[in-house]
Chains A and B, each alone.
Chain A
Amino acid sequence: MSATSAIAGTQLLATEDLSAYYGERKALGDVSIGFRRKAVTAVIGPSGCGKTTLLRCLNRIHEVAFDARVEGRVLLEGQDIYVSGVDPMSIRRRIGMVFQRPNPFPTLSILDNALACAPRGLSRQGRLDVAERALRSAALWDEVKDKLRTSPLRLSGGQQQRLCIARAVAAEPEVLLMDEPTASLDPIATAVIEELMDSLTDTFTIVAVTHNMQQAARVSDVTAFMLADEHGVGRLIEMDDTAKLFTKPSDHRTEDYITGRFG
């Protein structure tokens, strides 16, 4: 307990005994984890280990699925975001999310996608400024500045994903959750996104799920390893500085996983 409070200052977001269910099925069990401020935390583990579910609990998007529920606590700046009276919409504005597959809004232009959750009532110029800032921080501005009013569906997959990052960044969240953001992208687009993640940590606390260990090693400061137990419940096995976890893991299961013995 004292350990938790000792590091609370550097942790923007943390969970305590977090469990998540889909109906009767427990997908995530008793996870207590803290995410360091303005750092990239990678969550790795084989398919079905609950890493995506963990991520989806952090911005209360988990509960959108039918029959889904959560037990335990998620603390944002020490405040439990699951107590009654907390508006999930305001939480999602503070904790943005980028999904596994690029999901730009198909009927909105590139500009309107970037502005999808920008404050209303801005002037025309104000809107353009917000959009430009967001698109620049997603390293997309130069590629789309001449076609802001066209459909995002004509962009490449990597560009679409950066548009989704811009869209999330425009809301000026504190945390950015990324659910395998490069899983559907080619190596070059992946490299661009990874570079971007690095520059985004100047502003944001990033939690990224990946099943690509090289990626975790490349982009993250801290890595958490998850594994499903014999009942299929996702558990946090260990969490450490990325360099340490990949060289001297303290749990043999972590070592088995990163050396490729399973998963």
Chain B
Amino acid sequence: MTVGALRYRRLKQRRVFGSLGTALALLCSVLAAGSLLAILGYVVVQGVSAINWNFLTQLPHPIGVPGGGVGNGILGTFIIIGIATAMAVPIGLLTGIYLALFGRGPIPEALRFLSDVLSGVPSIAIGLFAYAVLVAPLKHFSALSASFAFMMLMLPLLVRTSEQAIRSVPQTVREGALALGMSNFRATVRIVLPTARPAIITALLLAIARVTGETAPLLFTAFGSQYWEANPNNPMAVLALQVFNYAISPYPDWQAQAWAGAFLLVVAVFILSLGARLMLRRAMRGLDS
């Protein structure tokens, strides 16, 4: 009987603590999600009014001339990220494969450590490095140096996530391929990599999202341009850079355009993250068996 009474009292206590905990967790979640929603809402409210076809397709206008757009910056963003991706994917993927399949011993451990360090290096330091090796010696700013900086930012993410993606392919699948007499190379390319592909693409999308809004390394690499520029050897306009320059300008016109540019960047990152989530869902489904 006393046991029953004891139990009952404890149950009450647990219920109180339980609901307190739930309330606290809920409050924190609201704060976390709420601040994000506040930022998004503010950017949308401020930015969406300045978005129109001209803004997306035209060159910036000189101060005082109304209208104009960030068309060259959008193009530049695509070019710089495209080149960065083209460089980062093979290097990152091959390193990831190497770490996943032969990842024991001092060299792979060192690689992992370096990759983790690289992912923690501030982007402005990476921009400075790109400046030192690709801008200063050549004596001119270039989109290529910005791509190089972006590649360095994307690499650690790609290396570690592709390693994880390949590792998460069940060992039984790989052994199944080897047991059929496939070579290690063929088993990797034909069986393991396709199984890991959705997860790798997820990582790639997240890596692209990561650099899409990067501004600091662009300041002394791509530098910016007032013109249509598609030659990666020249300075190039980039959306994030335009947002930065317009935002610190004293002109209300430009400030409005900065908000609109920020809105575009947020939309781009949103779409990339959404795509990443969808791919991840596919990845989970593929590995369920």
Contact = CB atoms under 8 A, between A and B. Distances in A.
A107 B177 CA distance: 13
B289 A106 contact: yes
A90 B175 contact: no
B90 interface: no
A51 interface: no
Interface string A156-169: 00001000100110
B178 A61 contact: yes
A204 to B, nearest CB: 15
Given A64-B175, A99-B172, A99-B175, A107 B286 contact: yes
B195 A105 contact: yes
A233 interface: no
A220 B199 CA distance: 43
B216 interface: no
Nearest to A118: B180
Contact of B179 (A66, A92, A104, A107): A92
A101 interface: yes
Contact of A64 (B173, B178, B197): B178
Interface string B171-197: 011011111111100000001001101
Contacts of B197: 107
A171 interface: yes
B171 to A, nearest CB: 9
A4 interface: no
B132 interface: no
Categorize the interface residue count of chain B: 20 to 34
A103 B178 contact: no
Nearest to A91: B181
Interface string A191-227: 0000000000000000000000000000000000000
Interface residues of A, number: 28
Interface in A63-107: 64, 66, 89-93, 96-97, 99, 101-107
A90 B175 CA distance: 15
A130 interface: no
B170 interface: yes
B191 A105 contact: yes
Contacts of A103: 170, 172-173, 175-176
B181 A106 contact: no
A189 interface: no
A89 B183 contact: yes
A89 B180 CA distance: 8
B26 interface: no
A91 B177 CA distance: 14
A144 interface: no
Given A89-B182, A116-B182, 6 more contacts: A61-B178, A66-B104, A91-B181, A92-B180, A99-B176, A103-B175
Interface of B: 104, 170, 172-173, 175-183, 191, 194-195, 197, 286-289
30 contacts: A61-B175, A64-B178, A66-B104, A89-B181, A91-B181, A92-B179, A92-B180, A92-B181, A93-B180, A99-B175, A102-B289, A103-B170, A103-B173, A105-B195, A106-B286, A106-B287, A106-B289, A107-B197, A107-B286, A108-B191, A116-B177, A116-B180, A116-B182, A116-B191, A117-B180, A117-B182, A153-B289, A160-B289, A164-B176, A167-B180
